[in-house]
Chain A
Amino acid sequence: MDWGWILDHLDDLAFRTAQHLYLTAIALAIGLAISFALALLAVRRRSLYPPIAGLASIVFTIPSLALFAAFVSITGISVWTAEIPLILYTFVMYVRNIVAGFDSVPPEVREAADGMGYGRLARLWRIELPLAVPLIIAGIRVAAVSTIGLVTITGILGDRFGGLGFFIFEGIARGYFATEMLLGAVPSIVLALLVDRALVLLQRRLTPWAHPARPGSAPEPAAA
């Protein structure tokens, strides 16, 4: 391990980390928006769900190298060559979890909401969405972790891309220069784990009703 080399390249590290987050965030955001629309469609019309989910899983089985390579012939070497495959890969995780999130709303809650006079949109926004959040965040979590990994592979497209993966590709090109390879590998693993943890905490934050005070600590209920 050549620590001196690392110290010399700290600003590169910062740049590539920022690039990594940037590429990940775009894919997650656009992927979420599109998947949300697809999921709502699948919830309304159940028959659409199998084809949507099926298509998404087929896309997911395509090796990332292949998909990036394929898009090279379509969009050349541009940010979309990186982003479109990344977005496509998020679908399978997002759609399944968003649909499951809406499915997790108990039917009697929906019935009570209708009976009390909630309009369709109000019910979606006020009742169904908050209750779907835990599973939606689970979906974001899986998608985020997966996307962070895939961004490293975008380094195949050249040194304009790759995020932290750039160091891995460069390191190989320089004759398996271990220090550089590790400079890419270790931070990307750390990044993935940190984001995973952060989203778990976010999920707990957003669902206070799922983690109320334990029955032992609150006063015992008196009425039947």
Chain B
Amino acid sequence: MGFVSAAVAWFADAANWSGPGGIPQRLLEHVLVSGLAMIIALAIVLPLGLWIGHRRRGAAVAVGLAGLGRAVPTLAAIAIVLPITAAYDPQLGFKLYPVVLAMILLAAPPILVNAYTGIVEVDPDLVEAARGMGMTGPQVLGRVELPLALPVVIGGIRSATVQVIATATLGSIFGFGGLGRFLIDGIANHDTGQIFGGVVLVAALALVAEAGLAGLQRVLAPARGG
């Protein structure tokens, strides 16, 4: 299996671990853009989704928007945003901003839909009982609905994270760094080792993120019976 040995050789080459094009640097760039996009997406969309689920209002609009967001090809999204952000900030506007914004667009639908669905699927009898006990709306949301909806909500976050990590590789097409650079450069140089090395790194990053979130899910929402 030629590409396995090529990849191994590539990892073994010390030169690949240093400098601005080295593995640590690219990894950092990738984590940066993915993390930034996820944090911003969560900050905006998660509360929105939870609130819409809690109030059971505006669901149709939210779901419709999520559907639209999913339909938009990510490459096209970056391409559209780039001229705008570039005009705004010639430094980061060319590389960082468009990718982050497109990733936010990518992450939003799974987070939104899962937050909404998770809350809506909480047993309405429990919610009614909580209200009957005198809890206010936000208290019901925070103490009853959210804890019960947590598995589904975190599921959405996991799904979004994995997608963002995988798709952030597209940023390299526009000159951004990140692990995608190994893929682009590998194609340009016909360097099999570099390509597969990049694949391994992206997969590893995604797995680490998955494992981390799975662990978080176990801590926050220990499995209930049934």
Contact = CB atoms under 8 A, between A and B. Distances in A.
- Find out whether A and B make contact in their complex, taking CB atoms under 8 A apart as touching: yes
B80 A156 contact: no
B164 to A, nearest CB: 11
A24 B217 CA distance: 37
Interface string A175-186: 010100110111
Contacts of A193: 68, 71-72
Interface residues of B, number: 41
A172 B175 contact: yes
A102 interface: no
A65 B201 CA distance: 13
Interface residues of A, number: 36
Interface string A144-168: 0100111011001000000011001
Contact of A172 (B72, B173, B203): B173
A152 B73 contact: yes
A186 B198 CA distance: 30
Interface of B: 2-3, 67-68, 70-77, 79-80, 82-83, 86, 94, 162, 166-167, 169-170, 172-175, 180, 183-184, 186-187, 190, 192, 195-196, 198-199, 202-203, 206
The 8 closest A-B pairs by CB, nearest first: A149-B73, A185-B76, A185-B79, A178-B83, A63-B166, A66-B199, A63-B169, A181-B79
Interface of A: 61-66, 68-70, 72-73, 145, 148-150, 152-153, 156, 164-165, 168-169, 171-172, 176, 178, 181-182, 184-186, 188-189, 192-193, 196
